[in-house]
Amino acid sequence: MHIRNGLSVDVEDYFHAEAITENLGRSNWNTMQSRIVQNTHRVLDLFSQYNVRATFFILGWAAERFPHLVRDIRSRGHEIGCHSYWHRLIYELTPDEFREDTRRAKDIIESAAGVEIIGYRAPSISITERSQWALEILQELGFRYDSSIFPIHHDLYGFPGHPRFLCHHGRDSKWNIVELPISTWRVGFLNLPFGGGGYLRILPLTYTHLAFRRVNECDQQPVIVYFHPWEIDPEQPRVQIPFRSRFRHYTNLDRMRKRVGALLQSYEFVPLCELLELNQNGNPMEIV
């Protein structure tokens, strides 16, 4: 079975990462040296080198300040998605706060891109069992799919009991949104992460390839890959943060571009919206 995998980029600056923001505060964002434009263009050039298209989930705060970057991404054939406005953890928001943040971001990004956006990725993948109420609000705001659930155990995010592959949330025509969970590799009774962010940077590439083959060949499912533009920027400013956060954020920044290139060379990738179309054209989806 020929498998096309989903490629996605969470477009945020290095100081938007939760590990840094929780130490510096959002009020200091405007004082930080921004590197988001140059780093995103490096990602775009890398994708052009391998002739692949992806979904770019863009932070509303960034789209408001750099609308030309949104247009550049769109002009190069990539899908535009929403990554919130303020990059706040969903489970720390009320439903009204989440609705306001998401609506604001969606309006700004759509205005810059000139197209309707249908996909959402939560900051720090923070739709969990206690914040899955956000999915119904996403549908209310016009989103057709979400990719914000990671079926693993983690101190910051995670929804271990969630299905590992594409599924519907909701059981009637009024409440029905598609979920594209972040990929995991099933080993025994555990779901192990591998397909993006710090896992792709820090874990051995042989482990990543093994997990890819397990999901593509054994499970016969696509892998959802994600990373951030700041992850291919080893020259970014260093911020004083606790050791665990420093390890997660800065390890192997100098190797990430090569690792992404190795995946692009080895597997076929499409934007996430195309996985949705493929599934609707014939493959059954689990209802949650």
DSSP 8-class letter at 115: S
For residue range 12-62, list pLDDT tens digits in order: 999 999 888 887 889 889 999 999 999 999 999 999 999 999 999 999 999
Q: Is 196 helix (H, G, I), strand (E, B) or coil?
A: strand
Q: How far is CA 225 from CA 158, 173, 254, 266, 280, in A?
A: 16, 30, 19, 13, 21
Cβ-proximal residues to 227 (8 Å cutoff; 6+ apart), any chain: 9, 10, 196, 197, 200, 201, 256, 260
Helix, strand and coil percent figures for the chain, each rounded to 5: 45, 15, 40
> Can you tell me the distance from the alpha carbon of 202 to that of 38, in angstroms, rounded to the nearest whole number?
23
Q: Cα 136–139–144 angle (5° rounding)?
A: 130
Instruction: Tell me what pLDDT residue 1 has.
Output: 59
pLDDT score for 21? 85
> Does residue 251 contact residue 155 with C-beta atoms inside 8 Å?
no
Query: What is the predicted pLDDT for the residue at 145?
Result: 96
User: How do residues 195-253 score in pLDDT, each as one tens digit?
Assistant: 888 999 999 999 999 999 999 999 999 999 999 999 999 999 998 888 888 998 999 99
Cα dihedral: 80, 142, 109, 24 (round 10):
-100
Q: List the alpha helices (DSSP H) in the chain.
A: 18-24, 36-49, 60-65, 67-75, 95-113, 134-140, 197-202, 205-213, 243-250, 256-266, 272-280
Least confident of 16-20, 110-114, 213-217, 256-260: 16-20
pLDDT of residue 284: 38
Helices (H) and strands (E) in the chain, counts: 11, 12
Q: What is the pLDDT of residues 151-196, one digit of tens each?
A: 998 888 889 989 999 998 876 656 689 999 999 999 988 999 998 8
| pTM across the whole model | 0.94
- How crowded is the C-beta side of 266, counted as CA atoms within 13 Å? 15
